[in-house]
Amino acid sequence: MDLAKARSPETDERYRLLVENIVDYAIYMLDPDGVITSWNAGARRSKGYSAEEILGRNFSQFYTEEDRAAGLPQIVLATAGREGRFEGEGWRVRKDGARFWAHVVVDAIRDDAGSVIGFAKITRDLTERRKSEDALRRSEDQFRLLVQSVTDYAIYMLDLEGRVSSWNLGAQRIKGYLPQEIIGEHFSKFYTEEDRAAGLPQTGLRTALETGRFEKEGWRLRKDGSRFWANVVIDPVRDDQGELRGFAKITRDITERREGQLALEQAREAYFQAQKMEAVGQLTGGVAHDFNNLLMAIMGSLDLLRKRLPHEPRVDRLLDNARQAAQRGASLTQRMLAFSRRQELKTEPVDAAWLVKGMGDLLRHTLGGAIKVETCFPPVLRPILADPNQLELAILNLAVNARDAMPAGGTISITGREERLGPSTSRRLVPGLYLCLSIRDTGEGMDEATMARAVEPFFTTKGVGKGTGLGLSMVAGTVEQLGGELILKSAKGTGTTVELWLPESAEELQEPRPLSADLAPSHDGARMTVLLVDDDPLVLVSSAEMLEDLGHRVLTTNSGAAALAVLGGECRIDLLITDQAMPEMTGLQLAERTRMMKPELPVIIASGFAELPKIAEAQILKLAKPFTQQALAEAILEARTFG
């Protein structure tokens, strides 16, 4: 059936009403020249013209001035007439001059002979969609610029296989690759060889897929092969339908932060270690002080017994054994005091090369024939400020440790070199000239765990009964008390080197002078009245006995207050000998009070500690505990010269 013939007037009317009442689309007719011949409600709504205002006018007035100048209306009609249809989008103009973004479809209308008799034009206002698209595009552009401009973070995309598909400035700065060098490459090349072997790149992508996110810290590689510590985050990227499109990867270089954290942890550990060492040092120093007092009583009593008992070989041997044991105990207290930095040091300019060479026979006899000792010092060497006796003891301790590390024999090299340390040095030493005295062995060396504890007090790798564990800590304490530093260098299988950095002396060496004859200890019949003060009754008794044995009259008290009472009495006192560490009043405080009462009275302060302030007064002498009768006699003779 012919639809055209079957169409009734009622049907045409329904189509007309349908078209005229559509409001979302402008639907109107044009004649072959573009003149408007019909106008619906949608055209009136979108373009603003009523039918009376627009019918009979050319549709080109809906175009912008620039589009009319370009002949776009004619192109639209020519295209529709030639191809049957034209479709496009562009700016159009409303009656009030406002622009809107339109989607346009123009269809050619032909008669039965195929000639164009007009055009059907449908226009839809897409301004809101255009605004949304523009806003989205601007947002995407801004986001792209944002990502590209970030320099502190490497932000880039990976495809499904893990190949780099985008690259920002941060990635270029941190990793060193230009975009053309890295895009298309697999991101695993940023990982270390061991991480690639462990499959860490694949683990990162798999975890991101399974959990929605992957984050980890670890070493990564730059283009030049150098490592940096990175914080890495990988997120899966999906489209609106949830389909995986790739991965977003963000990398941050946190090497400096990690180094800062490590430095803070090391500083905290060093602080805790220092606190622990301080506590142990206080305990050790206190024990050594009490032990010194016991040794004073033992050694003094043994000296007196040796003098008063008749010579009998068996008795002499027992006394010698007891005295040797007491001397070994005194040596142990010196080590304990050295560790706690409380032993007395008598510093003077010392020629280190001469001192080491002078120890040659002692080292050979002590170390045995299986150990070869080599020394090397520059021909000219400035003196160092040290206590020669304590320095000898420190070198001997280190040499014995080196020997024990070479059970099959080996070589110990003792060398020295001068060096000036500036303010930029990383060591704790103050700037200045130093002698680096180095003791190196060819022994087994130490692993990291042993190195970390080597200087701890009472730590030893020797068997039970073969070492106190105080040797190295004693040396460290002595060196630090001299204003220097001990540096330990070792590795398993490469031997051990101990460096003693000691400050050089500003004074020159002095020629040794023999003890003058008038100061040689002897019983010359000069009887003195000595006031002896000590809070330890054992020390008080033994010291009094030694003084009386030397021919002096002795008055004893156990406190500073009691001593002041005696000094204020009628009895003539020729010499005051006092312990330093006493409760309520120290020996130095007693000496100061004594000077106010009797300025001419000489004073001897006995102490094993180094914290006694330097005594400037000529009438005050220092006597190191534990002392022998010989040392006591020498101190008294020196005190007598004050008069």
CA distance 311 to 305: 11
Task: Please name the residues in contact with 462: beta carbons below 8 A apart, sequence gap of 6 or more.
Answer: 404
- Position 414 scores a pLDDT of 93
The arrangement of strands across the sheet holding 432-441 comes to 371-376, 410-421, 432-441, 496-503, 485-490
What's the chain's average pLDDT? 81
Band of the pLDDT at 468, cuts 50, 70, 90?
A: very low
Q: Is the pLDDT of residue 457 over 60?
A: no
Are 500 and 484 in contact, with CB atoms under 8 Å apart?
A: yes
Are 417 and 435 in contact, with CB atoms under 8 Å apart?
A: yes
Only one residue has tokens 């010291």, namely: 543
Q: Is the pLDDT of residue 480 over 90?
A: no
Q: Is the pLDDT of residue 478 over 50?
A: yes
What is the mean predicted confidence (pLDDT) over 360-387?
A: 85
- Position 251 scores a pLDDT of 92
- Position 280 scores a pLDDT of 55
- Position 89 scores a pLDDT of 92
Phi, psi of 484, rounded to the nearest 5 degrees:
-115, -160
Are 589 and 576 in contact, with CB atoms under 8 Å apart?
A: no
What is the mean predicted confidence (pLDDT) over 380-402?
A: 84
Are 622 and 594 in contact, with CB atoms under 8 Å apart?
A: no
The torsion angle over the Cα atoms of residues 362, 364, 366 and 369, rounded to 10 degrees, is -170
What is the mean predicted confidence (pLDDT) over 141-157?
A: 73
Q: What is the largest CA-CA distance in the chain?
A: 164
What is the mean predicted confidence (pLDDT) over 156-179?
A: 91
Band of the pLDDT at 458, cuts 50, 70, 90?
A: low
- Position 338 scores a pLDDT of 53
Band of the pLDDT at 18, cuts 50, 70, 90?
A: low
- Position 343 scores a pLDDT of 52
Give the 3-state secondary structure of residue 468. coil
Q: Is the pLDDT of residue 232 over 60?
A: yes
pTM of the predicted structure, to 2 decimals = 0.39
Are 144 and 156 in contact, with CB atoms under 8 Å apart?
A: no
- Position 511 scores a pLDDT of 53
Tokens (6 digits) for 76: 């639209």
Task: Please name the residues in contact with 615: beta carbons below 8 A apart, sequence gap of 6 or more.
Answer: 588, 591, 605, 621, 622
The DSSP H or E segment spanning 125 is strand 116-125
Task: Please name the residues in contact with 333: beta carbons below 8 A apart, sequence gap of 6 or more.
Answer: 288, 291, 292, 295, 608, 626
Residue 503's DSSP bridge partners are: 434
Q: Is the pLDDT of residue 233 over 80?
A: yes
Share of the chain above pLDDT 70, in %: 78
Band of the pLDDT at 522, cuts 50, 70, 90?
A: very low
DSSP 478-547: HHHHTT-EEEEEE-TTS-EEEEEEEEBPSSPP----PPPGGGS----S---EEEEE-S-HHHHHHHHHHH
Q: Is the pLDDT of residue 30 over 80?
A: yes
Which pLDDT tens digit goes with each residue over 560-597?
999 999 998 888 899 999 988 888 898 889 999 998 98
Mean pLDDT lowest among 5-9, 205-209, 479-483, 603-607: 5-9
Tokens (6 digits) for 285: 């120093």
Q: Is the pLDDT of residue 139 over 60?
A: yes
- Position 292 scores a pLDDT of 67
Burial category of 562 from C-beta neighbours within 10 Å (exposed 0-12, middle 13-18, buried 19 and up): middle
Q: List domains and CATH numbers for the chain.
A: 3-127 (3.30.450.20), 150-253 (3.30.450.20), 348-503 (3.30.565.10), 517-640 (3.40.50.2300)
- Position 1 scores a pLDDT of 38
Are 334 and 326 in contact, with CB atoms under 8 Å apart?
A: no
- In 338-461, the DSSP E strands lie at 348-350, 371-376, 384-386, 410-421, 432-441
Only one residue has tokens 């895009």, namely: 183
- Position 465 scores a pLDDT of 40
What is the mean predicted confidence (pLDDT) over 544-555?
A: 89
Band of the pLDDT at 469, cuts 50, 70, 90?
A: very low
CA distance 105 to 239: 32
Name the residue with higher pLDDT: 393 or 51: 51
Band of the pLDDT at 514, cuts 50, 70, 90?
A: very low
Mean pLDDT lowest among 8-12, 345-349, 471-475: 8-12
CA distance 341 to 335: 9
Helix-helix angle 537-549:629-640, to 10 degrees:
70
What is the mean predicted confidence (pLDDT) over 177-202?
A: 93
CA distance 600 to 578: 16
- Position 287 scores a pLDDT of 59
Tokens (6 digits) for 413: 């090299």
Which pLDDT tens digit goes with each residue over 616-632?
444 688 887 778 888 88
Mean pLDDT lowest among 295-299, 331-335, 420-424: 331-335
Phi, psi of 387, rounded to the nearest 5 degrees:
-95, 110
CA distance 577 to 621: 9
Q: Is the pLDDT of residue 293 over 50?
A: yes
